[in-house]
């Protein structure tokens, strides 16, 4: 039996499709939206639609951006010769919060996971290898400390080593199984400073 009108039920159903949102959270979010002033709800809806229409991959580092190049790739202040490889845009944001990394990034949008059917061709490795044709001194692999992240790091290091470019991995301090986006800036900074060559 439906407790709510079809509009409320539909809104709850749509919110429950979001990752990490269960039935109770979806219901709370739906009622929060319903109780918002109309202008605020329209602003939220517009922001979602505009982001979906305008956000794309940076042509250089593959992060999400609304321009052809992201602000980091456009910056003349960044060291273009040092590339940090991360799994997701959220990981890039976590390192940017430390304020200590002056290089550029490459976002893979995933990690190699044979169990999930994700192979090297399913993440942005080809784009990374194309970038290495430019003048690059070091690639820092900052994938998560999970089985998939470690497998991806080993795979990338084997691809890059023959090019003669220095390959390093972020140091421990990042807990095994921990996602970079949830780790504090000090831990991330220590991991970056204590990186080791692969």
How confident is the model over 21-71, as pLDDT tens digits?
A: 998 999 999 999 999 999 999 999 999 999 999 999 999 999 999 999 999
Q: In the predicted model, what is the mean pLDDT of residues 145-156?
A: 87
Please say if the pLDDT value at position 196 is more than 70: no
Q: Which stretch of 93-97, 143-147, 168-172 has the lowest confidence by average pLDDT? A: 168-172
Could you tell me the two tokens for 33? 């939206």
Please say if the pLDDT value at position 1 is more than 60: no
- 180 vs 9, higher pLDDT: 9
Q: In the predicted model, what is the mean pLDDT of residues 133-142?
A: 92
User: Domain 6-54 maps to which CATH number in 3.40.50.720, 3.40.50.2000, 1.10.8.420, 3.90.1200.10?
Assistant: 1.10.8.420
Q: Fold match between 6-54 and 64-197?
A: no
Q: Which stretch of 22-26, 158-162, 167-171, 175-179 has the lowest confidence by average pLDDT? A: 175-179
CATH number of 64-197: 3.40.1360.10
Please say if the pLDDT value at position 183 is more than 80: no
Could you tell me the two tokens for 10? 């539909």
Domain ranges of the chain: 6-54, 64-197
User: If you average pLDDT over every residue of the chain, what do you get?
Assistant: 88
Q: In the predicted model, what is the mean pLDDT of residues 136-141?
A: 94
* pLDDT (0 to 100) of residue 39: 96
Task: Determine what percent of the chain is predicted with pLDDT higher than 90.
Answer: 64
Please say if the pLDDT value at position 84 is more than 90: yes
* pLDDT (0 to 100) of residue 177: 65
């Amino acid at each position: 039996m439906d407790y709510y009108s079809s509009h409320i039920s539909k809104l709850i159903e749509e919110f429950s499709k979001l990752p990490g949102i269960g039935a109770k959270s979806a219901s709370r979010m739906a009622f929060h939206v319903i109780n918002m002033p109309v202008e605020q709800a329209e602003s939220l809806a517009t922001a979602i639609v505009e982001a979906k229409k305008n956000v794309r991959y940076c042509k250089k580092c593959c992060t999400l951006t609304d321009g052809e190049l992201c602000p980091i790739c456009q910056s003349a202040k960044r060291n273009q010769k040092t590339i940090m490889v991360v799994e997701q845009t959220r990981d890039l944001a976590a390192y940017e919060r430390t304020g200590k990394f002056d290089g550029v990034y490459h976002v893979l949008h995933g990690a190699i996971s044979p169990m999930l059917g994700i192979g090297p061709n399913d993440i942005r490795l080809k784009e990374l290898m194309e970038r290495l044709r430019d003048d690059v001194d070091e690639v820092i692999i900052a994938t998560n400390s999970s089985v998939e992240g470690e497998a991806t790091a080993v795979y990338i290091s084997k691809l890059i080593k023959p090019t003669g470019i220095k390959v390093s991995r972020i140091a421990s301090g990042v807990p095994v199984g921990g996602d970079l986006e949830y780790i504090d800036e000090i831990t991330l900074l220590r991991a970056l400073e204590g990186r080791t060559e692969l």
